[in-house]
Amino acid sequence: MKPELFVILLILVGFALLEMLFTNFFRKPGQTRSDAIVEIASTLSVSVISQPIALAGGFAVAAWLAPDAAGMLEAWPILAVLGLFLIFDDMTQYWWHRLSHTVPWLYNLHRPHHNAPYLSIRVVYRNNLFYYLFMPGLWFSGALIYLGGGWVYAGYIIVKMAVIYGAHSDVRWDEPLYKIKWLSPVMWVVERTISTPATHSAHHGKHAADGITNYKGNFGNLLFFWDVLFGTAKITRRYPAEMGVENLPDTSVAEQLLWPFVSSKQTETAVLENRS
């Protein structure tokens, strides 16, 4: 196992242990047996199939298009290469995520992530089996690794996944910091820079009318700055009382994981009407 993957795994396990200690990792509010099935299947799929294929695909396409460009980024400054990953991986993932809440067929690939009536480290990779396979940021990352950016990617992906794990976990690291008055200016910067439990839980909220939920915004993954820049940010420093999807019918495990090969007319119609 590559060192960066081992570190990411340790961070994931660390958040899982925190949830076991403080927020009942194995029994989340409103969970059903199907939730566990979707989460296990999707997490295994993205780890061993989707992400490796997408990264390798981007690497292969870049090698085919630019056979003489291998390693060209190795002499670039770290900040320059980091900037490429922030734009071609993180910013494109922001737009991919945003489109997934706008384009009906993309939402069907992303809906499993929001179908859980809770937020947890468990739902980080919870998506349709094809969602990550088509994610542009992974393909671009593979291309940048071919071009010689792998040495920067190793550190970048550790930081990115730590932020994403922290934003999804219901062990809210930001909540106690909001209560410290002298930290308020610091948190003002932090919450506009990276995704936090407060801003990301707003994206997972169930009811748009609660004054907190923003499921058609707060799309950022590593950088919440993209939401600030592109006008989709909502910052309240509060957390929705309920998580999940609003105004959509129930869906099956098979449909969550295998759409479009398994689909129901009822779900298709509701998604077209709501695009939650």
- One pLDDT digit (tens) per residue for the chain, 276 residues: 899 999 999 999 999 999 999 999 999 999 999 999 999 999 999 999 999 999 999 999 999 999 999 999 999 999 999 999 999 999 999 999 999 999 999 999 999 999 999 999 999 999 999 999 999 999 999 999 999 999 999 999 999 999 999 999 999 999 999 999 999 999 999 999 999 999 999 999 999 999 999 999 999 999 999 999 999 999 999 999 999 998 888 899 999 999 999 987 666 555 555 555
CB pairs under 8 A, 24+ apart, for 11-14?
A: 11/158, 11/161, 11/162, 11/165, 12/121, 12/124, 12/161, 12/165
The residue ranges of every structural domain in the chain are: 3-274
What is the CA angle 46-220-270, rounded to 5? 70
